[in-house]
Amino acid sequence: MQIKIEMLRCFVAVARTGNLSDASEVLGRTPSALSMMLKQLEENLGQSLFETDRKNRLSALGSFVLEQAERELYQFDGMVQDIVNFAKAKSGKVRLAAVPSVANTIMPEVIAQFLSARPDVHIELRDMDSASILRELAKDRIDLGIASTQGHATSFHTQALFSDRFGILCHKSCKLLKLGDKLCWSDLQDERLIANNLSQSIQIRDCQQLHTNAGLKVHNITSLIAMVRSKVGITILPETTVQMLNSEEISFIPLPETNIQREIQLIRKSDTPSSPAAQELERAILTFVNERG
C-alpha cells in the first residue's frame, strides 16, 4: 500500500469543499486529475471514502481519514516550512563570540539590523578574549568569532575586519595629557601601569620593560576600566575600548613614536560547513564594517 502525501492533500480539499470543481481551484489541479488521485487512494484503502459519487458526504472511513490526514498535513507542512526557513536563513541558531570592544560597539547595531530581517533566528553572543574565542571555535562551541589571531597559530578561515591602534587609557586628570605630541616612553615610568593580556603582547622593548615593572595586572576589561576611572593607574588598550566606554572620565593617548595595531578578524572553522543563518550573519557583519569604513 502506497499512500502519498498528495493523495491525502487531494482528499482533504475535496472533503472540505464538497466537490471536485472547487477542490481543483484550491489545489490548482484539474478535476479529472483529482478524481484519478482519489480513486488511487480508495484502491489502496480498499474502501470508498465518500457515500456517493457527488463527494458531498463522507463514509465512516472517510471521516476517520480526514481527521488523520489533516493532522499529518499540518505537521508535514510545518516541517517543510521549517526546512525552507532554515535553508533561507529565516530560522536557526548562531553562536557568536567577540572581543569585548567589538561586542559592545559594533555588534549591537549589526544584530539589530539582522534580526529585523530575520526575527526567528536565535543568536547567542558572548564576549571573551581572543585566545578564548579560538579555543571555543576549536571545540565547536561557537560558529563565528570576532577576534585577533596575532600571536596565535591557527588554521581557521579568517577575514580582516579592521585595524585598531593601541594607546594609553588614563583618567582625564592624568598629567600625561598635557604632554601631547611630546609624550615619550620615559614619561610613563612615573605612572603606575595596570598590565593586561593585550598590552603585554606588544613587542616593543620600552613597553615590555614597563610590564616587567608593573605591580598590578587585571584580566577583566570591566575591572580594568574601573581601576583607571578610580585613578589607580594607567593601562594600554586598543582605541575601540574608549568607544565602548562612552565616558568623559577616561582619555585615550596614542602610544609614543609607534603605530602598534591590533588586527580584528572574522574567524570560523574552514572544515565545518556553516548553517545558512551563520552565513548570512557573517555577510551582515562584513557589510556593516565595509560600509562603516
Tell me the pTM: 0.69
Strand pairing category for 194-195 and 261-268: unpaired
Give the per-residue pLDDT at 180: 81
Average pLDDT, the chain: 88
d(CA 101, CA 224): 13
pLDDT digits (tens, 9 = 90+) for 181-193: 788 888 898 899 9
Residues of the chain with pLDDT under 50: none
What cell numbers appear for 118 in the block? Answer: 530575520
Give the per-residue pLDDT at 99: 92
Give the per-residue pLDDT at 1: 61
d(CA 72, CA 74): 5
Domains annotated for the chain, with CATH where assigned, are 5-87 (1.10.10.10), 92-162+263-292 (3.40.190.10), 164-261 (3.40.190.10)
pLDDT digits (tens, 9 = 90+) for 241-260: 877 777 788 999 988 867 78
